[in-house]
Amino acid sequence: MAKIRLVRMSAYFGRTRALREINLDIPEFNVTAVIGPSGCGKSTLVRCINRMHETVKDARVEGDVLLDGENIYGPGVDPVQIRRRVGMVFQKPAPFPTMSIQDNVAVGLNLNGLALNRGERAEIVERSLRRAALWNEVKDDLGKPGTSLSGGQQQRLCIARALAVEPEVLLMDEPCSALDPISTAHIEELVLELKSQYTIVIVTHNMQQAARVSDFTAFLLGGVLIEFGDTKQIFTNPERQETEDYITGRFG
Amino acid sequence: MLSPNFGSYAVAPSATAQARTKRRWQRLKMGVPAGELVFDGFTAATALITLSLVVAIVVVLAISAWPALVRFRAGFLVGTEWDPVNEQFGALPFIYGTAVSSLLALLVAAPFGIGVALCLSELAPDWLSNILGFLVELLAAIPSVVYGLWGIFVLGPFLRDAVEPALARYLGFLPLFQGPRVGVSMLSAGAILAVMVVPFISAVCRDVFAAVPDNLREAAFALGATRWEMVRLAVLPYSLSGIVGAIILGLGRALGETIAVAMVIGNRSVISASLFMPSTTLASAIANEFTEATSDIYVAALIELGLVLILVSLLINVTARLMIYKLTAQRFTR
């Protein structure tokens, strides 16, 4: 069943329309990849799902985005609440530089206003770091600054930070583009593990990655959704000529 | 297919680097072009002159203050008696007045300046932020004598008639808020200094906030932070050392401010616990008394006040630098 449903959703930067009337159903407990050439609106699309798009100056969204059937752009919906349900990991890992590893993981808990004692906090930190496959590497250095980790570790720290608040959906905006191949493999394994508990949407410019990790793939071109379907089918037998041209490397 | 291509790419930059070194070497053998020499000489000279100016000022002040220095020694710094007629010069009331009025100013101006900067950089839309920023920085362009006039005719009476009675009523049990209310007071000086210092703090803080990487802001928002939580999580911790720097800059300005303070502080060289009482500062005393200084020792004592002011400012700047250095070293360890 569709966890997220985009209904004739358009996104604008000022007068420029970055996305045009997207209709898309994102299934629950699956990985959905969003692919397409640079500037096609991949990042904008996922940023519309947690209302991050509107934090950019002059940016706005038209149409509906339904999360569990409820329009997140409806009147009276608090974007802050939406973002707590829909976590996000960015292209460049950005741990808070003045915070330790454990504080970075726990930072979202404080935002939710949960009164946790030290034991509960430590437990959530450990669980989140384990889920992000980082626990074994950092368990003895939890007090060290988050920025002391390597790039790949920092990205997993950011994933742990996003998971700590128990979101329902995890959006990943090119999470591996700043990482080396080994760290990339770590993150990809992680995505496959996480999909049993979370609905994941991953933006990637790496088609092999989309093929490896995703169950469904959406292909965007020039702000238009060209094709959406089962990943295997998209990569072996696409319906549209543009999709075939893109995945065979004829452009992009 | 790939490897020869790759190979030539790897060699190419080092080949040009070699050529460049060679060219440089040839140029050296031919002699340095005149333009280089002029540029080097000019920049070095300006740097050296500026540096030696600071040293020269301190030295000249020390020489001119010498008679007072040898006559009063440490007594100058701790003495409270300032009696030119009997040639008694103790500077403690001036040091005290300078410190208290400046601290008072910072106490008000720091939260205000930071608040204004946060509003301009994080809340207001661009067009409003530009207009407001310009207006706030305009405050810094008002001549200080105008501030002094405004202090005498507007701020002083307002404090006397509205603020001080309220303070005395609700906080009157503190010695800080007791005594007669005359309009010229330590409180007036602190208030006027606060207004003068706000634009400095807010301008620097605004630049500091602008330097916070946007991806930290996004990270905070994506975790479900409200705007204030984002500021607390991403903006403030990252800018801490810069904020301290901004406050210190404001302090430097407050310590040295002369004419506006001289116009509103009352110029009475007595240490009083009450902020309602007139006081005096190092800078305002020098400005007020220089024309009356008839004896050599009086002049020397006034110059020693200046020397103290310079050294205090220097000390504060050094402490601030150390503090910033320590803060950044601690919090951003690699």
Is residue B273 within 8 Å of B162, Cβ to Cβ? no
**Is residue A159 in some structural domain?**
yes
Is residue A50 within 8 Å of A171, Cβ to Cβ? yes
Could you tell me the residue range of the domain that residue A197 belongs to? 2-247
SS (H, E, C) B215-253: HHHHHHHHCCCCHHHHHHHHHHHHHHHHHHHHHHHHHHH
Closest approach of A208 to chain B, Cα-based (Å): 21
Is residue B306 within 8 Å of B221, Cβ to Cβ? no
* Alpha-carbon distances, residue B159 vs A136, B146, B148, B189, B276 (angstroms): 63, 18, 14, 11, 10
User: Residue B100 has what pLDDT?
Assistant: 95
Closest approach of B198 to chain A, Cα-based (Å): 27
Is residue A89 within 8 Å of A172, Cβ to Cβ? yes
Q: Please count the CA atoms within 13 angstroms of the CA of B19 that sit on its side-chain side.
A: 6
> Does the pLDDT of residue B21 top 80, yes or no?
no
Q: pLDDT tens across A115-142, in order?
A: 778 888 999 999 999 989 899 999 999 9
Sign of CA dihedral B125, B131, B132, B133: positive
Mean pLDDT throughout B109-117?
96
Neighbours of B249 (CB within 10 A): 17
CA–CA dist B302, B33 (Å, integer): 51
Neighbours of A49 (CB within 10 A): 22
Q: Which residues of B touch A80 (CB under 8 A)?
A: 224-226
Domains recognised in chain B with CATH numbers: 8-64 (no CATH), 74-333 (1.10.3720.10)
Instruction: Give me the percent of chain A exceeding a pLDDT of 70.
Output: 98
Q: pLDDT-based confidence at B77, cuts 50/70/90? A: very high
Q: pLDDT tens across A159-206, in order?
A: 999 999 999 999 999 999 888 898 899 899 999 999 999 999 999 999
User: Residue B179 has what pLDDT?
Assistant: 87
Determine whether the interchain pair A99/B237 forms a contact, defined as Cβ–Cβ distance below 8 Å: yes
Mean pLDDT throughout B109-122?
95
Neighbours of B255 (CB within 10 A): 21
Q: Which of the pair, B2 or B332, is modelled with greater confidence?
A: B332
Mean pLDDT throughout B297-303?
94
Q: pLDDT tens across A13-40, in order?
A: 999 999 999 999 999 999 999 999 999 9
Contact B154/A at CB under 8 A: no
CA–CA dist B114, B96 (Å, integer): 26
Q: Residue A158's domain is classified under what CATH number? A: 3.40.50.300
Closest approach of B331 to chain A, Cα-based (Å): 5
Q: Nearest by CB to B224, from A80, A96, A147: name it.
A: A80
Q: Which residues of B touch A83 (CB under 8 A)?
A: 221-224
Q: pLDDT-based confidence at B180, cuts 50/70/90? A: confident
Q: pLDDT-based confidence at B20, cuts 50/70/90? A: confident
Torsion-angle region of B224 (φ positive above 0: left; ψ -120 to 50: alpha; else: beta): left
Least confident residue range of A79-83, A204-208, B122-126, B315-319: B315-319
User: Residue B28 has what pLDDT?
Assistant: 65
Whether the ipTM is more than 0.90: the answer is yes
Q: Mean pLDDT across chain B, nearest whole number?
A: 88
Tokens of B244: 């301290």
In a mutational test of the B interface, the residue from A46, A54, A80, A153 whose CB has the highest number of chain B CBs within 10 Å is A80
Q: Please count the CA atoms within 13 angstroms of the CA of B178 that sit on its side-chain side.
A: 7
Is residue A197 within 8 Å of A12, Cβ to Cβ? no
Determine whether the interchain pair A94/B238 forms a contact, defined as Cβ–Cβ distance below 8 Å: no
User: Residue B3 has what pLDDT?
Assistant: 39
Closest approach of A87 to chain B, Cα-based (Å): 6
> Does the pLDDT of residue B29 top 50, yes or no?
yes
Q: Which of the pair, A215 or B252, is modelled with greater confidence?
A: A215
Contact B330/A at CB under 8 A: no
Q: What is the dihedral of CA A238, A242, A245, A250, to 10 degrees?
A: -160
pTM over 0.90: no
Least confident residue range of A63-72, A108-117, A130-139, A220-229: A108-117
Q: pLDDT tens across B270-290, in order?
A: 999 999 999 999 999 999 999
Number of domains in chain A: 1
Helical pair A151-164 and A101-111, crossing angle rounded to 10 deg:
30
- Per residue in B57-96, is it b (16+ CB within 10 Å) or e — as a string? eeeebeebbebbbeebeeebeeeeebebeeeebbbbbbbb
| Cβ-Cβ contacts under 8 Å for A166 (sequence gap 6 or more) | none
**Is residue A205 in some structural domain?**
yes
Instruction: Give me the percent of chain A exceeding a pLDDT of 90.
Output: 83
Q: Mean pLDDT across chain A, nearest whole number?
A: 93
**Is residue A32 in some structural domain?**
yes
**Is residue A127 in some structural domain?**
yes
**Is residue A123 in some structural domain?**
yes
User: Residue B249 has what pLDDT?
Assistant: 85
CA–CA dist A19, A10 (Å, integer): 5
Helices (H) and strands (E) in chain B, counts: 16, 2
Determine whether the interchain pair A97/B233 forms a contact, defined as Cβ–Cβ distance below 8 Å: no
* Alpha-carbon distances, residue A69 vs A25, A26, A66, A82, B207 (angstroms): 11, 12, 5, 13, 44
List the single residue in B with minimal CA-CA distance to A166: B223
Determine whether the interchain pair A111/B218 forms a contact, defined as Cβ–Cβ distance below 8 Å: no
The chain A residues in contact with chain B (CB within 8 A) are: 50, 52, 55, 57, 80-81, 83-84, 87-88, 90, 92, 94, 96-99, 107-108, 111-112, 145, 147-148, 158, 161-162, 165
List the single residue in B with minimal CA-CA distance to A164: B223
Q: Which residues of A touch B234 (CB under 8 A)?
A: 96
Mean pLDDT throughout B80-96?
93
**Is residue A228 in some structural domain?**
yes
User: Residue A252 has what pLDDT?
Assistant: 63
Q: Which of the pair, A21 or B180, is modelled with greater confidence?
A: A21
Contact B92/A at CB under 8 A: no
**Is residue A252 in some structural domain?**
no
* Alpha-carbon distances, residue A198 vs A2, A142, B185, B205, B225 (angstroms): 13, 26, 65, 41, 21
User: Residue B330 has what pLDDT?
Assistant: 54
Q: pLDDT tens across B145-159, in order?
A: 999 999 999 999 999
Q: Which residues of B touch A128 (CB under 8 A)?
A: none
In a mutational test of the A interface, the residue from B123, B223, B232 whose CB has the highest number of chain A CBs within 10 Å is B223
Chain pair A-B, CB pairs under 8 angstroms:
73
> Does the pLDDT of residue B14 top 80, yes or no?
no
Mean pLDDT throughout B204-217?
91
Q: What is the dihedral of CA B290, B292, B297, B300, to 10 degrees?
A: 0
User: Residue B321 has what pLDDT?
Assistant: 77
Mean pLDDT throughout A92-119?
87
Residues facing residue A100 across a β-bridge? A145
